[in-house]
Each structure stands twice: as structure tokens, then as C-alpha cells.
Copies of this chain bind each other. A is one copy, B any other.
Amino acid sequence: MAHGSGGRLSHKLVQEIFQKHLGNEYLNQMNDATIVRGSGKLAVTTDSFVISPIFFRGGDIGKLSVCGTINDLAVSGAEPRYLTLGVILEEGFLLEELEILVKSIAETAQSAGVHIVCGDTKVVERGSADKIFINTTGIGWLEREVGPQYIQPGDYVLISGTIGDHGIAIMSEREGVEFETPVISDCAPLNHLIDQFYMPGVRCMRDPTRGGVGTTLNELARQAQVGILIEEEKLPQSEGVKGACGMLGLDSLYLANEGKLIAIVSLEVVNEVLKLMQMHPLGKDAAIIGRVTEAEPGLVLLETPLGGKRIVGMLEGEHLPRIC
């Protein structure tokens, strides 16, 4: 408990675990605020991670907390540069586990080329938190003008890979359900994938996390005041997710993803963008899943293989708590 008290033990914790794995010129400033350099337009985003369990197939809460915030910056058209790290620990949380998570944070940040610039740790008594919660705030330079305001009827909707993997991986981990084909979370930083395919004509990007592809497309349709028509059979799904959804009666359109993005792209560049996406390991299953229409502004429609159409609404109520 004393590790979060602000005194000598706090210093020890910071030195021995956080500084050890994350130490860099920024954290070494050891001041109340860290000084970074920037100019022009900055993108800023924040996210708290409360996922349970904290270790899962394909990742852990540390990796997820870095990926989630990097991805929010990257899909906004920014180059992710700096992350802050706010940790809330439940008293009794094993320092060994904390160290594994901090290493995971360090490795993920390094692989994505972002710097952890400052941090804070608080400890609460047993029963007042569940193991560990992590907040990351990200700052990046805005480099690309993308956003729902650029979406136009006639544009195409791309997804960078299979959908629902994170949601099913967590569900299976949490409920102790094993599916025939094990599902691995897709948790990954998407900034390098975007560097690979981005070109003018990419109008808007989003990462469909909580609420899934269905909810994200609804947000875009409303913000851009366009219709979005997607084709059910074009949605990439892993065998494991397909099986799990069939068995549990779930709709993969509402399952969380943590390493996928939706891109809305003009007719002129759609094939080139798709090809570039597919050349990157994180985009190998990328597909065109639909298009933007003038009709039905604000609505998302799903076309079934038999030609029927149904409205894809926003996620209602609770699907799966603590998925990120």
C-alpha cells in the first residue's frame, strides 16, 4: 500500500519497475510535468483500460493500453509521438505481474515508435479496484486531414482484417470456454499499417473497438450524414469467431476489435489502398466490405447473401463489460 503514498516506497517502485523498463530522456526529467517538443496541430486522446482478465491470448492490459491510444491517434491522421501512463493498483497486486505488464508496455511502445513521457501510480486498498487499471493519454502531430466530414457518397468501406477476434478472445478467456479453433486477440498498434497504405483519397479512418464495426459505422453514417451499405459475405471473420458466434448467438458486428481499422476511401484509390493494406502483416485479410450511399443518410444497412437488407443499429445495452 505504501508504494502509492508518494514517499520513499513510491520512489522505489518508480525506480525499480517503471524507470527500469520505460526509462528514457523524458521520464528521466523526473519533474511534475515532462517537456516535449511540438508544433502545429496536435492530436490528443485519452483512454482508461479496465479489461478483465488482464492477461489473455494475444496480449495483456499493458499492451492493450498502449495499442488502444496509439490507434485512436493514428486513425485520426496523427503520427503518435508521446504517451502518458496512469496506473491504479489494488493493494496486494503482485510486483512480478506489474513488471511483466510494464515490460509489455515498453515493448509495444518501442515497436510503435512512441515515447512514454510521464506517469503516475496510485495504490488503493483491497476490494477498491480489480487488480490494475491503466489510463494512457496520447499526443501526436496531425499529419493527414481525415475525418467523417470528408466522406462522400460513392466512397468504399474497407476493413483491415477479420472482425471480432478481441471480443471472442476475452469472452473465451473470461468464461473458460474453449472453442474448436482458439481465438487470439488482434491487439496491435496500427500506425505503421496506416503509414503503409495512406494516400490522398483516404477520407476517414476509425478503429472499431468497444461496440464493434456496427457501432463505429453508425457513428460515421451519422456524423457524415450518409448511408452505409455493407455486404455480409464480405466481412472477414476467422474460423474461430465464426464458430463462437454461431454457438453463442453473437453478432460479430458488435464484437470489439483492438487491431483493426475501418477506412473510407474514394473510388479512385480503393484498389491501390487495398493492395497496400494486404502487403502489411496487420492488413493481410483486408477487404472491401461496402460503400457509402446518398440514400438513407445516418443509417447502416447490411445486405445478406440472398439480397435482403436489414438495418444495423447501434449496440444497445451491455454486450460484454470490461472488454478494454
Q: Which residues of A contact B (CB under 8 A)?
A: 1-2, 4-11, 30-50, 52, 71-73, 75-76, 78, 82, 84-88, 117-125, 127-130, 133, 135, 137-140, 142, 147-148, 206-207, 209-211, 215, 223, 254, 256, 314-322
Contact yes or no, B210 A5, CB < 8 A: yes
Q: Which residues of B contact A120 (CB under 8 A)?
A: 46-48
Copies in the complex: 2
Residue of B nearest to A141 (CB): B38
Given A1-B321, A5-B319, A8-B315: A45 and B32 interface contact (C-beta under 8 Å): yes
From B6, B36, B207, A44 is in contact (CB under 8 Å) with B36
Given A5-B211, A6-B215, A315-B8: A137 and B86 interface contact (C-beta under 8 Å): yes
User: Nearest Cβ distance between residue A129 and chain B, in whole angstroms?
Assistant: 6
Contact yes or no, A138 B33, CB < 8 A: yes
Contact yes or no, B7 A117, CB < 8 A: no
Q: How far is the CA of A162 from the CA of B294 in the complex (A)?
A: 65
Contact yes or no, A5 B46, CB < 8 A: no
Q: How far is the CA of A161 from the CA of B298 in the complex (A)?
A: 56
Contact yes or no, B209 A6, CB < 8 A: yes
Q: Which residues of B contact A7 (CB under 8 A)?
A: 210-211, 215, 254, 314-317, 319
Given contacts A38-B38, A86-B137, 6 further A-B contacts (CB under 8 A): A9-B317, A34-B44, A35-B41, A44-B84, A50-B128, A137-B137
- In the A-B complex, list the 8 residue pairs whose CB atoms are closest, starting with the nearest: A6-B210, A7-B315, A6-B211, A137-B137, A46-B84, A33-B45, A33-B76, A135-B135
Contact yes or no, A44 B82, CB < 8 A: yes
Chain B CB count within 10 A is highest, among A1, A2, A35, for A35
User: Nearest Cβ distance between residue A112 and chain B, in whole angstroms?
Assistant: 15
User: Nearest Cβ distance between residue A253 and chain B, in whole angstroms?
Assistant: 12
Offer 25 A-B interface pairs, CB within 8 angstroms, sorted by A.
Answer: A5-B210, A5-B319, A5-B321, A7-B254, A7-B316, A7-B317, A31-B147, A32-B45, A32-B73, A32-B207, A33-B44, A33-B140, A34-B43, A36-B41, A44-B118, A45-B118, A46-B137, A48-B87, A50-B129, A86-B86, A86-B137, A124-B322, A125-B322, A128-B130, A137-B137
Q: How far is the CA of A50 from the CA of B5 in the complex (A)?
A: 12
Q: How far is the CA of A85 from the CA of B148 in the complex (A)?
A: 23
